[in-house]
Amino acid sequence: MKKIIELKNITKSFDGEPVLKGINLDIYDNEFLTLLGPSGCGKTTLLRLIGGFETPDEGEVVFLGQVINDVPPHQRNVNTVFQKYALFPHLNVFENVAFPLREKKVPKDEIEKRVTEMLSLVALSGFERRNITSLSGGQQQRVAIARALIGQPQVLLLDEPLGALDLKLRKDMQVELKKIQKQTGITFIFVTHDQEEALSMSDTVVVMSEGKIHQIGTPIDIYNEPINAFVADFIGESNILDGFMLEDFRVTFSGQTFDCLDKGFGYNEAVDVVVRPEDVDIVSLEEGQVAGVVTSVTFMGVHYEIIVDVGGFKWMIQTTDFVDVGEHIGIKLDPDAIHIMKKSEYSDLYGDYSFFSDEMEEAVEGEVKA
Amino acid sequence: MKDTVSRQRARVATADRAALAPYTVWAVLFILVPLVFVAYYAFTDNAFHFTLDNVKRFFTATSTVIGSDGSAQEVRTYLLIFWRSLKLAVISTVICLAFGYPIAYIMARAAPRVQRTFMTIIMIPMWMNFLIRTYAWMTILQDKGIFNNFLTTLHLPAVHIIGTEAAVVIGMVYDYFPYMILPLYSILAKLDPKLLEAARDLGCSGWGVLKRVVWPLSLPGVISGVTMVLIPSISTFYISQKLGDGKFFLIGDAIEGQYVANNLHFAAAIAFVLMIVLLLCMGLMRKLAGRRVEGGL
């Protein structure tokens, strides 16, 4: 696979506040790459560096082997779909899409042909003369995509483009974007804070926080093999427990020893153990490896989300079987339900579901007293 | 249910009308009625009989002027004055726009503190009386005035400005400049910076961004700025008398002169013709700008 963009050791500060702290990232031709992280993690700044709207303090932005740190946006073969679309309100749909072609002085009949094609690609044929302001959010979104694609960029940057759309429309646009990316074969760099969106659309997910990249991988890798507690918590729900490795494939936590699939840790090394809520089997007390008490049950539609107190640590479990609050249950874990991570600076920050339930209890008590 | 809604709406509408009442009364008394009177006076004679003579006089009255070569020429008095007024007003407006647009653009992009400072500097002259400002320019521009003294200390030759068209234009530009800046600034400050980024992203150089995005989107501001400078400067009368040494009789001076001479009907006729011409100009401008804004193939 051909590398199209390389980011080498990039740092960037605003007013002395570091936003990017040494970013290294290779982006390959034809891939759908997502920069995923909570707001303020630097993902949009990274996108703006690639677009040419910011220059790095240190490090290099390399495009097809050439350093482009100082190349202005209009000379980069990269286009952007902006967060709130940034469509030109004084131009109609046709003229918005034709904008880059008119700048390049493309002949009139070719403009006509290419804009018509592009509008049919984004399912907006017949909207040529419409006013931008008369379009719905989803239609404006598609005009923005058409406008960014018509100049045939090698890379398309998308800055949280679906954030302003309602849930159903967002799902439709996710499918449509993926389809457009396949059809055009252009590299998409997509910024979002929505982990579900990242997992369902991307070839590669880059998880960021606090100006650093935590993990780069396929959606399945990132979900199944999170590198640390931050990633495990940010991508989906996770129970993260303190444990230690007895030997390869044997781990102890919650006072029990379990078989697992991980190896290569030191003898008795302290580790973080990740168990996804949907991977926990609820069994009878006798069959269970661990016992716990159900403290809350929430109906979520497809499943129940229950919180189970196991010796003071609260697990989140997703199950389709109904259990009642106060019931004593057994918990059983298959080896592939357990994922072991090295200890990191994020170790004790995430993954215990007693945090917010305690807070709620206190709040409720306070109210009763008042 | 539907009934209550429509009744509520009716109530809101009544409330709106009540709130508008003071302004409506004001507008009728001080805008509409005077306009009707202007028209009425313009088309009547001293005995208040209908006549077109006043308007005809505007177009046909002639007088003799002595050209620079000493020869006497017959000219249409009021058409000449009107043409001169229009010329000076257009020059002033163009100068205001040429200087005002870049300043307003820079202001709109500057830090909030800088914006406030700029705004104060531009507004300060407006706190002073219009007559005093004009007198101030007289003392500055006189042959032995402040400006020429300054040139002399620099050992530069003095220039004769007072009593020329240039002096009148300087006065107009100075007086009406804020009226150009304010509407331009307010529209440019509202411009979404993301649109400028989008234009650069789509291949525009800095100049292209200005031409294809900033300028068309700021046209409403340009139109109101031009309107607010052109109209008062076309009908101004005091500046030309003081700074032009009375040599450049403008249409405003003509109206004032006729009024002072108690020729109310002819004064009204001049004002009426001026008003019609200005309305036509503004209508035309709006139409042209409107077409630009619409875009299209």
Dihedral of the CA atoms B191, B197, B202, B208 (nearest 10)? Answer: 60
Q: Note whether A88 contacts B: Cβ–Cβ < 8 A.
A: yes
Q: In this model, does residue B7 exceed pLDDT 80?
A: no
Q: How much is the pLDDT for A304?
A: 93
**Cα dist from A75 to A49, A63, B203, B206, B273, whole Å:** 14, 12, 7, 12, 54
Distance CA A11, CA A56 (A): 6
Q: How much is the pLDDT for B123?
A: 87
Of B194, B201, B295, the CB nearest to A95: B295
Give percent of chain A with pLDDT exceeding 90.
69
How high is the ipTM of this complex? 0.81
Phi/psi zone of residue B258: left (φ > 0), alpha (ψ -120 to 50 degrees), beta? alpha
* Residue B207 Cα, gap to closest chain A Cα (Å): 11
Q: How much is the pLDDT for A348?
A: 79
* Residue B225 Cα, gap to closest chain A Cα (Å): 19
**Cα dist from B190 to A133, A343, A356, B279, whole Å:** 17, 50, 43, 28
Q: How much is the pLDDT for B244?
A: 84
Query: Side chain identity at A100, as an amino acid letter?
Result: P
B202/A51 touch (CB, cutoff 8 Å), yes or no: no
Helix ranges (DSSP H) in chain A: 43-51, 93-103, 108-121, 137-149, 167-184, 195-201, 219-224, 229-234, 354-369
Tokens of A258: 């379990």
Mean pLDDT throughout A202-213? 94
Could you read off the pLDDT of A3-16 as tens digits, one per residue? 999 999 999 999 99
Q: In this model, does residue A237 exceed pLDDT 90?
A: no
What CATH code would you report for B78-294? 1.10.3720.10
Q: How much is the pLDDT for A365?
A: 55
Query: Side chain identity at A340, as an amino acid letter?
Result: I
Mean pLDDT throughout B207-229? 92
**Cα dist from A187 to A39, A141, A253, whole Å:** 23, 19, 43
Q: Note whether A99 contacts B: Cβ–Cβ < 8 A.
A: yes
Chain A residues in contact with B223 (beta carbon < 8 A): none
Distance CA A271, CA A311 (A): 19
Q: Note whether B34 contacts A: Cβ–Cβ < 8 A.
A: no
Domains of chain A: 3-224 (3.40.50.300), 229-369 (2.40.50.140)
Q: In this model, does residue B297 exceed pLDDT 50?
A: no
* Residue A73 Cα, gap to closest chain B Cα (Å): 5
Give percent of chain B with pLDDT exceeding 90.
38
B208/A86 touch (CB, cutoff 8 Å), yes or no: no
Q: In this model, does residue A357 exceed pLDDT 50?
A: no
Distance CA B213, CA B85 (A): 34
pTM equals 0.80
Backbone angles phi, psi at A292, to 5 degrees: -155, 170
Q: How much is the pLDDT for B294?
A: 44
Q: In this model, does residue A359 exceed pLDDT 70?
A: no
Could you read off the pLDDT of B238-264 as tens digits, one per residue? 888 888 887 788 888 889 888 898 889
B208/A51 touch (CB, cutoff 8 Å), yes or no: no
Chain B residues in contact with A74 (beta carbon < 8 A): 200-205, 208
The residue ranges of every structural domain in chain B are 78-294
Mean pLDDT throughout A145-151? 93
Whether A86 and B197 have beta carbons less than 8 Å apart is answered as yes
Chain B residues in contact with A82 (beta carbon < 8 A): 194, 197-198
Chain B residues in contact with A84 (beta carbon < 8 A): 194
Q: In this model, does residue B10 exceed pLDDT 80?
A: no
Q: Give B290's pLDDT tier (boundaries 50, 70, 90).
A: low
* Residue A69 Cα, gap to closest chain B Cα (Å): 15
Query: Side chain identity at A158, as an amino acid letter?
Result: L
Mean pLDDT, all residues of chain A? 90
Could you read off the pLDDT of A245-287 as tens digits, one per residue? 998 999 999 888 999 998 888 888 999 999 999 999 999 988 8
Mean pLDDT throughout A218-231? 92
Q: Note whether B213 contacts A: Cβ–Cβ < 8 A.
A: yes
Q: Note whether A313 contacts B: Cβ–Cβ < 8 A.
A: no
Could you read off the pLDDT of A87-122 as tens digits, one per residue? 999 999 999 999 999 999 999 999 999 999 999 988
B195/A80 touch (CB, cutoff 8 Å), yes or no: no
Chain A residues in contact with B192 (beta carbon < 8 A): 86
Q: Note whether A164 contacts B: Cβ–Cβ < 8 A.
A: no
Q: Note whether A209 contacts B: Cβ–Cβ < 8 A.
A: no
